[in-house]
Structures are given as structure tokens and as C-alpha cells.
Amino acid sequence: MKERVTLTIEKEILGKVDNTVNHTDVKNRSHAVELLLTKAFGENKPSKAIILAGGKGTRMKPMTNFLPKPMLRIHDKPILEHNIELLKRHGIKDIIISIGHKGDKIKEYLGDGTQLEVNITYVEESAPMGTGGPLNLLKGKINNTFVLLNGDELKDIDIEDMFMFHRKNKGIATIALTTVEDPSKYGVAVMNGNKIMTFIEKPSKKQIPSKLINAGLYILEPEVLKIVPEGFSMIENDVFPKLASNEQLLGYVFSGQWFDTGTPDRFSQAEREWQGLK
């Protein structure tokens, strides 16, 4: 519930406020003041993130015989570190990493996160648990809105803006969506307004309903954990369709960089084209 207030502000400061108004993301002066206050009080982002880094990376062998895929380097830095820098840039410093295959290499490199000025803890998958299974290891430990992201992609997403979108639209789960030239290689989102109605996994090129694909970063409420199946599960298949059927799944479309590094060709493309965080 909103209340009307009257404020007396220096003209110079008010001018700076007005300069943030673009009539799309920031609709007017009142909206600009609200957003600035929200950011000042630290309520514009989740406080915790979970990075999925437990996969075997079989398509990247033989490199992943010795390292987990998120530890492969792009521009002399592990992909996982690029993701940590994204979180840190948006003020998210409490990070849980789910590790499995060659997870000791991740722990040796990152430790507790002190060198990167973040706080890192780990959950360990004794066997591959998919993108949903690791959340079972965190039930009872997550009490607030959190970010979940894949540790083997490169992405430049405004997490604060995505969180404001999530909160404004009262989402249970919000998926970051991007566009690619050939969506047939990915899960394609079918939208109705801001809501995702369904995913079509790797559609044929003749049946692609849109160019919007799942970018592997989500903002989730703790209640999502309640519907994660025990054992191995894929959040894309076992959780999101249930939310979509209840119109509780949102799609946040962003225009920043995104690179999949799951195959040698895509990895090489990321090496050539990734421009770092903007």
C-alpha cells in the first residue's frame, strides 16, 4: 500500500533525480524517488546466491577430465569467477556453491572467498543431482529471496533491476531470458505478458515459438524449495512447469551479453566475443 508524501528537496538534487526518469524503467519523478530510496536501504537485491557447479561437463572432454567445467578459463579467469564478480557487482556477497565433479579444484582456488571479498560456503553432491537436486541440501537454510545461477555460463544481467521486476510482479520465481540466433539448441520460453506459460525444450527450427531462451539465472522465493523433488531433479523440468501452470513463473528479458560454454564451439565463441562485465 502506497502513501502520498510531500518532500522539500534542493533543486540541484531534484534535477539529478529527474535525470534518472526514462519513462520506461523509471516512469516519473515519484517512481525515481521510490527506486532511489529502495536502493539506499539495500532492499533492491537478494542477499544470497547459489551457484550450480557440480556437473561433469562431458561435452567438454578432455579438458574436464582434470577440471570442472566452471573452472575452465575465459580471458585468463575461470568462468565461475566471472559469475562471482557479477554477483559481487550487485552487492551479493553471501554465496553458496554446489560442487561435485572435481569440486576440490573449486575449493582450492576460491577457498572461503576472502580474496574476492565475498563469503563462500559449499554444499557437496555425492552424486550428480541436476539443477534442482542441490536445493534439497539447502532446505531449512534459505529463508529469504535468493538467486540461483549456473556456474558454467557467462552473463551480464542487471540483477538489481531483475529483482525489482520480480518484486513488483509478485513473483514466486523469475527466469532471466535472452535471445539467440538459433533457439532450437535451448529451452524456449512461451510468454503471456510477463508470465512464462511453458517451455519447449530444443524445438525444431520449423516450430520455434519465440527466440527467448532460459539464460540460467533465476530469482526465487524460499517456497520454491518445497516443490523440489528428492534426489536428482532438473528445476527446468520438475519445478518450473508446475509454477507456470499456476501462473507463478515470470520471465525477465535482458539485453546484456550471454554465452553458453557447453560445447567446444560455443566455448571458443565465448573466448572471442565475451567483453567482460559492463
Per-residue pLDDT tens digits for 6-28: 888 887 888 887 888 877 657 78
For 197, the grid coordinates are 506459460
Given a contact cutoff of 8 angstroms between Cβ atoms, the answer to whether 175 and 250 are in contact is yes
pLDDT value at residue 2: 66
Given a contact cutoff of 8 angstroms between Cβ atoms, the answer to whether 56 and 64 are in contact is yes
Given a contact cutoff of 8 angstroms between Cβ atoms, the answer to whether 92 and 162 are in contact is no
pLDDT value at residue 1: 57
Interval 130-147: pLDDT, tens: 999 899 998 888 999 999
Mean pLDDT calculated for residue range 44-57: 86
Q: Give the lowest-confidence range in 9-18, 81-90, 227-236.
A: 9-18
Q: Alpha-carbon distance 94 to 88, whole Å? A: 9
Q: For residue 258, how far is the Cα from the chain centroid?
A: 11
Q: Residue written as cell 539506499?
A: 40
Q: Mean pLDDT of all residues in the chain?
A: 88
Where do the structural domains in the chain lie, given as residue ranges? 48-273
For 245, the grid coordinates are 501452470
Q: Any idea what DSSP says for residue 52?
A: E
48-273 placed in CATH 3.40.50.1950? no
Q: Which long-range contacts (CB under 8 A, 24 or more apart) does 64-67 make?
A: 64/101, 64/102, 66/102, 67/102, 67/105
Q: Alpha-carbon distance 134 to 54, whole Å? A: 9
For 82, the grid coordinates are 566471472
